[in-house]
Amino acid sequence: MDIPVKSAETPRWERRKEARPSELMDAALELFVEKGFAATRLDDVAKRAGVSKGTLYLYFDSKEDLLKAVVREGYVARIADAEAYARAFTGTSAELLRDIMGMWWTQVGATPMAGITKLMIAEAGNFPELARFYHDEVMHRGMGLFTYALQRGIASGEFRPVNLEHATRLCCAPVVMTMIWKHSLGLCTHDELVPEAYFETHLDMLLRGLRSA
Protein backbone atom coordinates (compact mmCIF):
# COMPACT_ATOMS: atom_id res chain seq x y z
CA MET A 1 0.00 0.00 0.00
CA ASP A 2 1.81 3.05 -1.19
CA ILE A 3 0.91 6.33 0.34
CA PRO A 4 1.40 8.98 -2.29
CA VAL A 5 3.62 11.87 -1.44
CA LYS A 6 1.44 14.89 -1.09
CA SER A 7 2.61 18.02 -2.84
CA ALA A 8 2.55 21.08 -0.68
CA GLU A 9 0.27 23.25 -2.75
CA THR A 10 -2.47 20.89 -3.92
CA PRO A 11 -4.33 19.20 -1.11
CA ARG A 12 -6.16 16.18 -2.43
CA TRP A 13 -9.35 17.73 -1.20
CA GLU A 14 -10.74 20.50 0.84
CA ARG A 15 -13.80 20.71 3.05
CA ARG A 16 -16.48 22.82 1.52
CA LYS A 17 -19.61 21.39 2.97
CA GLU A 18 -21.68 24.54 2.74
CA ALA A 19 -20.45 25.82 -0.59
CA ARG A 20 -20.46 22.52 -2.41
CA PRO A 21 -24.10 22.09 -3.33
CA SER A 22 -24.38 25.41 -5.10
CA GLU A 23 -21.01 25.01 -6.79
CA LEU A 24 -22.22 21.69 -8.10
CA MET A 25 -25.56 23.09 -9.16
CA ASP A 26 -23.88 25.95 -10.96
CA ALA A 27 -21.69 23.57 -12.88
CA ALA A 28 -24.64 21.33 -13.62
CA LEU A 29 -26.78 24.22 -14.79
CA GLU A 30 -24.21 25.27 -17.34
CA LEU A 31 -23.79 21.80 -18.74
CA PHE A 32 -27.44 20.81 -18.68
CA VAL A 33 -28.31 23.98 -20.55
CA GLU A 34 -25.50 23.61 -23.03
CA LYS A 35 -25.82 19.91 -23.80
CA GLY A 36 -29.17 18.77 -22.49
CA PHE A 37 -29.80 16.33 -19.67
CA ALA A 38 -28.81 13.06 -21.27
CA ALA A 39 -25.75 14.38 -23.04
CA THR A 40 -24.32 15.83 -19.83
CA ARG A 41 -21.88 13.51 -18.12
CA LEU A 42 -21.62 13.65 -14.37
CA ASP A 43 -17.89 13.32 -14.80
CA ASP A 44 -17.91 16.66 -16.55
CA VAL A 45 -20.13 18.28 -13.97
CA ALA A 46 -17.75 17.16 -11.26
CA LYS A 47 -14.72 18.26 -13.19
CA ARG A 48 -16.19 21.69 -13.82
CA ALA A 49 -16.97 22.06 -10.14
CA GLY A 50 -13.45 20.93 -9.35
CA VAL A 51 -14.40 17.80 -7.42
CA SER A 52 -14.47 14.09 -8.06
CA LYS A 53 -17.48 12.28 -9.34
CA GLY A 54 -18.07 10.59 -6.03
CA THR A 55 -18.48 13.92 -4.32
CA LEU A 56 -21.59 14.59 -6.37
CA TYR A 57 -23.23 11.68 -4.68
CA LEU A 58 -22.59 13.12 -1.25
CA TYR A 59 -25.02 15.88 -2.10
CA PHE A 60 -27.39 14.47 -4.69
CA ASP A 61 -28.92 11.06 -4.91
CA SER A 62 -28.85 10.76 -8.65
CA LYS A 63 -28.48 12.67 -11.87
CA GLU A 64 -32.20 13.26 -11.88
CA ASP A 65 -32.07 14.55 -8.35
CA LEU A 66 -29.37 16.98 -9.40
CA LEU A 67 -31.53 18.28 -12.21
CA LYS A 68 -34.43 18.76 -9.83
CA ALA A 69 -32.26 20.67 -7.42
CA VAL A 70 -30.99 22.93 -10.18
CA VAL A 71 -34.49 23.71 -11.33
CA ARG A 72 -35.96 24.24 -7.91
CA GLU A 73 -33.09 26.27 -6.62
CA GLY A 74 -32.94 28.47 -9.67
CA TYR A 75 -36.32 30.02 -9.63
CA VAL A 76 -38.61 30.04 -6.72
CA ALA A 77 -37.06 32.83 -4.67
CA ARG A 78 -37.04 35.17 -7.65
CA ILE A 79 -40.70 34.68 -8.36
CA ALA A 80 -41.66 35.35 -4.80
CA ASP A 81 -39.70 38.62 -4.88
CA ALA A 82 -41.51 39.74 -7.98
CA GLU A 83 -44.87 38.89 -6.46
CA ALA A 84 -44.12 41.02 -3.45
CA TYR A 85 -43.00 43.83 -5.71
CA ALA A 86 -46.19 43.69 -7.75
CA ARG A 87 -48.46 43.64 -4.75
CA ALA A 88 -46.77 46.71 -3.29
CA PHE A 89 -46.67 48.63 -6.54
CA THR A 90 -48.52 51.95 -6.65
CA GLY A 91 -47.85 53.41 -10.11
CA THR A 92 -49.78 52.86 -13.33
CA SER A 93 -50.41 49.36 -14.60
CA ALA A 94 -48.44 50.11 -17.74
CA GLU A 95 -45.46 50.89 -15.55
CA LEU A 96 -46.05 47.73 -13.60
CA LEU A 97 -46.04 45.66 -16.79
CA ARG A 98 -42.80 47.30 -17.85
CA ASP A 99 -41.21 46.70 -14.45
CA ILE A 100 -42.20 43.05 -14.25
CA MET A 101 -40.90 42.42 -17.71
CA GLY A 102 -37.71 44.29 -16.96
CA MET A 103 -37.08 42.39 -13.73
CA TRP A 104 -37.81 39.11 -15.38
CA TRP A 105 -35.33 39.77 -18.10
CA THR A 106 -32.65 41.22 -15.88
CA GLN A 107 -32.80 38.65 -13.14
CA VAL A 108 -33.54 35.57 -15.19
CA GLY A 109 -33.59 36.05 -18.93
CA ALA A 110 -30.15 37.61 -19.12
CA THR A 111 -28.59 35.05 -16.74
CA PRO A 112 -27.60 31.45 -17.38
CA MET A 113 -30.82 30.44 -15.68
CA ALA A 114 -32.76 31.33 -18.77
CA GLY A 115 -31.43 28.03 -20.01
CA ILE A 116 -33.57 26.23 -17.48
CA THR A 117 -36.63 27.11 -19.44
CA LYS A 118 -35.18 25.55 -22.54
CA LEU A 119 -34.13 22.59 -20.46
CA MET A 120 -37.58 22.04 -19.05
CA ILE A 121 -39.10 22.22 -22.49
CA ALA A 122 -36.69 19.62 -23.75
CA GLU A 123 -37.12 17.28 -20.80
CA ALA A 124 -40.76 17.75 -19.84
CA GLY A 125 -41.63 14.45 -21.49
CA ASN A 126 -39.01 12.52 -19.52
CA PHE A 127 -39.68 14.03 -16.11
CA PRO A 128 -43.41 14.56 -15.79
CA GLU A 129 -43.26 15.18 -12.09
CA LEU A 130 -40.58 17.82 -12.48
CA ALA A 131 -42.42 19.34 -15.43
CA ARG A 132 -45.54 19.68 -13.35
CA PHE A 133 -43.55 21.33 -10.59
CA TYR A 134 -42.05 23.75 -13.07
CA HIS A 135 -45.38 24.44 -14.65
CA ASP A 136 -47.13 25.08 -11.37
CA GLU A 137 -44.43 26.85 -9.43
CA VAL A 138 -42.67 28.75 -12.16
CA MET A 139 -44.66 29.24 -15.33
CA HIS A 140 -48.05 29.57 -13.73
CA ARG A 141 -46.91 31.88 -10.98
CA GLY A 142 -44.78 33.89 -13.38
CA MET A 143 -47.67 34.35 -15.76
CA GLY A 144 -49.84 35.23 -12.79
CA LEU A 145 -47.80 38.38 -12.36
CA PHE A 146 -48.82 39.60 -15.78
CA THR A 147 -52.41 38.57 -15.25
CA TYR A 148 -52.39 40.63 -12.09
CA ALA A 149 -51.05 43.73 -13.82
CA LEU A 150 -53.51 43.40 -16.68
CA GLN A 151 -56.47 42.90 -14.36
CA ARG A 152 -55.36 45.87 -12.32
CA GLY A 153 -55.22 48.05 -15.43
CA ILE A 154 -58.61 46.90 -16.65
CA ALA A 155 -60.18 47.48 -13.26
CA SER A 156 -58.78 51.01 -13.16
CA GLY A 157 -59.97 51.73 -16.68
CA GLU A 158 -56.39 52.15 -17.85
CA PHE A 159 -56.76 49.17 -20.22
CA ARG A 160 -59.76 48.08 -22.23
CA PRO A 161 -61.32 44.76 -21.29
CA VAL A 162 -59.49 41.88 -22.96
CA ASN A 163 -59.38 38.13 -22.61
CA LEU A 164 -57.01 37.83 -19.67
CA GLU A 165 -55.72 34.39 -20.47
CA HIS A 166 -54.88 35.46 -24.00
CA ALA A 167 -53.41 38.80 -23.05
CA THR A 168 -51.23 37.22 -20.41
CA ARG A 169 -49.74 34.84 -22.90
CA LEU A 170 -49.25 37.63 -25.40
CA CYS A 171 -47.24 39.55 -22.80
CA CYS A 172 -45.04 36.57 -21.98
CA ALA A 173 -44.52 34.91 -25.33
CA PRO A 174 -41.89 37.31 -26.70
CA VAL A 175 -39.90 37.20 -23.49
CA VAL A 176 -39.98 33.44 -23.17
CA MET A 177 -39.17 33.05 -26.85
CA THR A 178 -36.18 35.32 -26.51
CA MET A 179 -34.86 33.31 -23.56
CA ILE A 180 -35.31 30.07 -25.43
CA TRP A 181 -33.88 31.47 -28.63
CA LYS A 182 -30.72 32.63 -26.89
CA HIS A 183 -30.05 29.06 -25.77
CA SER A 184 -30.97 27.21 -28.91
CA LEU A 185 -31.23 28.38 -32.48
CA GLY A 186 -29.80 31.74 -31.53
CA LEU A 187 -26.50 29.99 -30.83
CA CYS A 188 -25.89 29.46 -34.51
CA THR A 189 -26.52 32.96 -35.77
CA HIS A 190 -25.11 36.36 -35.03
CA ASP A 191 -28.30 38.05 -33.97
CA GLU A 192 -28.31 41.78 -33.95
CA LEU A 193 -31.35 41.67 -31.71
CA VAL A 194 -31.02 43.84 -28.61
CA PRO A 195 -33.48 42.32 -26.16
CA GLU A 196 -34.08 45.54 -24.25
CA ALA A 197 -34.98 47.43 -27.41
CA TYR A 198 -37.10 44.54 -28.58
CA PHE A 199 -39.05 44.56 -25.35
CA GLU A 200 -39.55 48.31 -25.66
CA THR A 201 -41.19 47.74 -29.00
CA HIS A 202 -43.16 44.86 -27.51
CA LEU A 203 -44.48 47.05 -24.72
CA ASP A 204 -45.21 49.87 -27.06
CA MET A 205 -47.27 47.67 -29.36
CA LEU A 206 -48.90 45.91 -26.46
CA LEU A 207 -49.97 49.09 -24.75
CA ARG A 208 -51.39 50.44 -27.97
CA GLY A 209 -53.39 47.24 -28.20
CA LEU A 210 -54.58 47.56 -24.63
CA ARG A 211 -55.41 51.23 -24.71
CA SER A 212 -58.99 51.78 -23.71
CA ALA A 213 -61.13 53.53 -26.36
Partner DNA sequence: AATGAATGAGTATTCATTCAT
Partner DNA sequence: CATGAATGAATACTCATTCAT
Q: Summarize as ranges the residues that interact with a second copy (CB under 8 A).
A: 34-39, 118, 120-126, 128, 131-132, 134-135, 139, 162-163, 165-167, 169-170, 172-174, 176-177, 180, 183-185, 187-189, 192-193, 197-198, 201-202, 204-206, 208-211
- The entry of a second copy, DNA, none near residue 167 (CB within 5 to 8 angstroms by kind) is a second copy
C-alpha span between 1 and 14 (Å, rounded) = 23
Q: Tell me which of DNA, a second copy, none is bound by residue 193, counting a contact when its beta carbon lies within the kind-specific cut-off of 5 to 8 angstroms.
A: a second copy
Q: Distance (Å, rounded) from C-alpha 19 to C-alpha 176? A: 31
- Whether the CB-CB separation of 132 and 202 falls below 8 Å is answered with no
CA angle in degrees (0–180, nearest 5) for 197-202-208: 130
Q: Could you say which DSSP state residue 111 is in? A: S
| Single-letter residue type at 175 | V
Closest separation in Å from C-beta 173 to a second copy: 4
In angstroms, what is the C-alpha Rg of the chain? Answer: 21
**Shortest Å distance, C-beta 17 to DNA:** 4
* 93 within 8 A of 156, measured Cβ to Cβ: yes
Which parts of 37-76 interact with DNA (CB under 7 A)? 39-43, 51-55, 57-58, 61-64
Q: Which spans of this chain sit near DNA (rule: CB under 7 A)?
A: 1, 3-4, 6, 11-17, 20, 39-43, 51-55, 57-58, 61-64
